[in-house]
Chain A
Amino acid sequence: MKSLGSIRRSFAPWNDPDARPYIAFENVTKRFGDFTAVNNLSLSIYEREFFALLGASGCGKSTLLRMLAGFDEPTSGRILLDGQDLRGIPPYRRPVNMMFQSYALFPHMTVEQNIAFGLKQEGMPKPEIETRVADMLKLVKLTQFAKRKPHQLSGGQRQRVALARSVAKRPKVLLLDEPLGALDKKLREETQFELMDLQQSLGLTFVIVTHDQEEAMTMADRIAILDKGEVMQVATPAEVYEAPGSRYVASFVGNVNMLEGTVAERTENRARITGASGAEIVVENAGDAAAGNTVAFAIRPEKIKVSSRPPAEGTANVMEGEIYDLAYLGDMTVYHVRLADGQVLKASALNSSRITEDPLSWNDRAWVSFAPDAGVVLTR
C-alpha cells in the first residue's frame, strides 16, 4: 500500500523510527468507580504536531486531556511529557495549558483580566502583558469587548475568550477541548486557520478535541479516532479517509458505502469478493483479508460513477440499480442508487460543467461502477 502522507506539509516524525514522542500515553487506563473511561490506551504525539482526538460523545476525549493537564491521574499506566513521567506533578507546574470545554471563565474578571491571568502568574512584566493581551484580543476579534465581564458576552464570544486565555501563555503543549464548537461556520474557518498559523509560527504542540471531522481533517497533522476509551486508529487525515482501518473508522469519518461479502479468492494484492449485493467485486488493495474471510468493502460516494447507460463491456465492478433519490447540491449531485438486493449506494458526481438537465431522474435505471482500487477491504 502506498503511503499517503500529509498533504499540507512534509512533517511526519511518526514515520521516523528515531524520533522520540513529545507526549506519550503508555497503557493508560482511567476508571471512575467501576466505569472504564479510558482503556489501556497508548498514543504518541510529537513535538510541533497538531494532533486531533476524534470520537463520539463520552468516548473519553476530555478525560485524556484532563489527565495530560493534571486534573485527573491515570488509574494505571503513565503519561510522559518530553520523556518525563508526569505522575504527581500538579497542574500548575505542567507546561501544558488547556482550554476547557465549559470555558471556565472567571466571572468576576473582565475579558482582559481573564486573558492576562496566566501571564500575571508567570510574573511577566506589565507592558508585555498588555501587548500580549491586545494581540490575543485581536486574534479572537474581541478587542472592543476587552472590558466586559463574561456574563455580558454571547456563547461564541465566551468560547473565544477561553481560547485566547489558553493560548496567551504560549505553552509548550496546548490542549483544546472543542475550541470552536460554538462559532458560526465563517468565524470557525477563520479561527481554524489563525490557530494553524499560530501553531506553525510559535512551534507549539496542539492537541485538539473535536466532534467535527471536517475540522480535524483541516487542522490536524494526525487524527486519533477513539471509541469507548480505546484508540481505533491513528493516522493522517488522508489515511483516515482513504485507508480506514476498520468499519468503525470508515463510517465515523465522512460518508461511506459498506458492502458486506466474503473473500472468494485472494492473489497478491487482489481479492475477489462475492456475496456483496449479489455482485462480485474485484479489489486491488485487499490488505490483510484472506480467502474465506467475511469482510466489508468500503467505498466513498465520490469514487462511484453513476451512468444512465451500461458501461463498456469488460469494465470491472458494475452494478445495476435504480435511482432512488437524488439531491442537487450545486457543486455536486448526490445519487442514492438502490441495487437489486435493496441496498442503497450513495454516489456523488462533481458538476464540472453547467448542466441544465440531469440525464438521471427518480426511478431511472442506472449503472454504478468503480475502479478496483477505489475502495478498501475491512476485516474489522
Chain B
Amino acid sequence: MADTAVSSSPAVAAAQAAPVASGTLLGAITGRLVIVVPYLWLLVFFLVPFAIVFKISLSQTAIAMPPYTPVFTGMSDFAGKIGDFTADNYRILYCDFAGLVGLSGARAYCESFALDVFFDSPYIAPAYVSSIWIAGISTFLALLIAYPIAYGMARAPASIRPTLLMLVILPFWTSFLIRVYAWIGILKPEGLLNQVLLATGIIDTPLVILNTHTAIFIGIVYSYLPFMVLPLYSSLEKMDYSLIDAAQDLGCPPISAFWKITFPLSLPGVVAGCMLVFIPAVGEFVIPDLLGGSETLMIGKTLWNEFNANRDWPVSSAVAVILLLILIVPIMIFQNAQARAQEQGR
C-alpha cells in the first residue's frame, strides 16, 4: 500500500503538470518558430546567394558556360578542383585601389602578377568613390527634404495622418523604371522643366540637367524619398510633444527647442532613413544609367559592365563582395543606433 502510494504520487504530479507542460512546450515551439522563420529567410535568400557570389569571386574567367572555372558537378568533384581557386580578382581590386590612391610601393607587387594595367589606369576604385560620394550627397538632400515632410505629417491631426502616409507610398504603385523614364521627359533640354522655365522667362537657354550629376541626385532623392520619410515619421510621431512645452517653459525658444529636443529624439529615425537611402543608392544602377549618361561612374554600372559587356563574372563578383564589405560599416552604425534607441526604451 505504502509502496504504491509513493510511486503513484509523482505520476499524479506529472499528470497534473502535463497540461501546463504541454502548454509551455507549444508556446516554446511557436516562440522558436517566430525566430526561426526570419533566420531561415536570411539563410536561403541572403547567405546562400552570398556564398555563391563569394565562390565565383574566387574563380577564373573561362570561355564556357557558365563563364568561369572551377565548376563543380558534385561533392566528389570538390577536392580535385579546389586548387583552381584564385585570389586574382581581389588582387585586381587591390591594384585598382592602390593605383587610385597612388600607393607607389604596390606597383611592383601588381607588376609581379601582371596587373599593372589596373594600377596605372584604375577604373573600379573611382567608381566606388564616386558612388559613395553621390549616394552621400543624395542621402543628405533626401534628409533635408524628408524631415519637414515627416515633421508636418507627425504634427498633422491624427485623422488625416493615414491619408498622408498613403500619399507618401503612392508612387510605389507605378513601376520604378517608368518613373525614372518620366524624369528623362522632364529633365531633357526640350523637356517639361525647360519648357516651363523658358515660357515663364526665368531662363532663355535650356538648362542642361539630363546626363549630369544633378539629374542623378534628382533621380535618387525622388526615388528614395519615401524610405527617408517613413522612419523619420515613425520616430517623430511617437515623440511626446509636451517635451517641447517643457523646453519652452524652461526658457527655450522654439527653434532652439527643435535642435535640443526634437532632433536628438528623432535621431534613430534619421539614422534609419539615411541607411535605407544610402545603402541602395550606393549600388544604384538604373538611375545613373538612365539619367546620368555615359560620363557618370557608379559601381552599379561598373558591375553591370563587367558582368554583361565583359562577361567577367569573377571580377564582378569580387566587386560585389567588396561593395558589401564597404556597406557593412554603415549597417553596423545603423544596428548600433537601433540598439541605443531600444535601450532608451519608450
Q: Which residues of A contact B (CB under 8 A)?
A: 69-71, 90-92, 96-98, 100, 102, 104-108, 117-118, 121-122, 149, 151, 165-166, 169
**Residue contact B249 to A151, C-beta cutoff 8 Å:** no
Chain B nearest CB from A71 CB (Å) reads 5
Say if the beta carbon of B346 comes within 8 Å of chain A. Answer: yes
Cβ proximity bits B214-258 to A, threshold 8 Å, 1 near / 0 not: 000000000000000000000000001011011111111110100
Chain A nearest CB from B219 CB (Å) reads 35
**Residue contact A104 to B245, C-beta cutoff 8 Å:** yes
With the chains together, A106 CA to B256 CA distance in Å?
Answer: 14
Given A102-B242, A104-B245, A108-B265: A169 and B344 interface contact (C-beta under 8 Å): no
**Residue contact B250 to A97, C-beta cutoff 8 Å:** yes
Contacts of A69 in B (CB 8 A): 245, 249
Chain A nearest CB from B224 CB (Å) reads 27
Contacts of A149 in B (CB 8 A): 344
Contact of B242 among A100, A118, A121, A169 (CB under 8 A): A100
**Residue contact B265 to A92, C-beta cutoff 8 Å:** no
Contacts of B245 in A (CB 8 A): 69, 71, 91, 100, 104
With the chains together, A100 CA to B241 CA distance in Å?
Answer: 12
**Residue contact B249 to A97, C-beta cutoff 8 Å:** yes
Cβ proximity bits B261-291 to A, threshold 8 Å, 1 near / 0 not: 1001100000000000000000000000000
Say if the beta carbon of B83 comes within 8 Å of chain A. Answer: no
**Residue contact A92 to B248, C-beta cutoff 8 Å:** yes
Given A149-B344, A151-B345: A106 and B261 interface contact (C-beta under 8 Å): yes
Closest 5 CB pairs of A and B: A118-B250, A121-B251, A104-B246, A91-B248, A104-B242
**Residue contact A151 to B251, C-beta cutoff 8 Å:** no
**Residue contact B261 to A92, C-beta cutoff 8 Å:** no
Q: Size range of the interface on B?
A: 20 to 34
Contacts of A106 in B (CB 8 A): 243, 246-247, 261
Closest to B346 in A: A107
- Contacts beyond the supplied A97-B249, A104-B246, A107-B346: 13 A-B pairs with Cβ under 8 Å: A70-B249, A71-B249, A90-B248, A92-B251, A98-B246, A105-B246, A106-B243, A106-B261, A118-B251, A121-B251, A121-B256, A122-B251, A151-B344
With the chains together, A105 CA to B240 CA distance in Å?
Answer: 10
Given A100-B242, A151-B344, A151-B346: A107 and B250 interface contact (C-beta under 8 Å): no
Contacts of A90 in B (CB 8 A): 248, 253
Contacts of A118 in B (CB 8 A): 250-251
Select the residue from B240, B245, B251, B264 with max chain A CB neighbours within 10 A.
B251
**Residue contact B345 to A121, C-beta cutoff 8 Å:** no
With the chains together, A97 CA to B245 CA distance in Å?
Answer: 11
Contacts of B246 in A (CB 8 A): 98, 100, 104-106
Contact of B250 among A70, A71, A108, A117 (CB under 8 A): A117
Contacts of A122 in B (CB 8 A): 251
Contacts of B264 in A (CB 8 A): 108
Contacts of B261 in A (CB 8 A): 106
Contacts of A71 in B (CB 8 A): 245, 248-249
Contacts of B248 in A (CB 8 A): 70-71, 90-92
**Residue contact A92 to B344, C-beta cutoff 8 Å:** no
**Residue contact B253 to A92, C-beta cutoff 8 Å:** yes
With the chains together, A70 CA to B252 CA distance in Å?
Answer: 13
Closest to A165 in B: B250
Contact of B240 among A92, A97, A104 (CB under 8 A): A104
With the chains together, A353 CA to B254 CA distance in Å?
Answer: 64
Chain B nearest CB from A98 CB (Å) reads 5
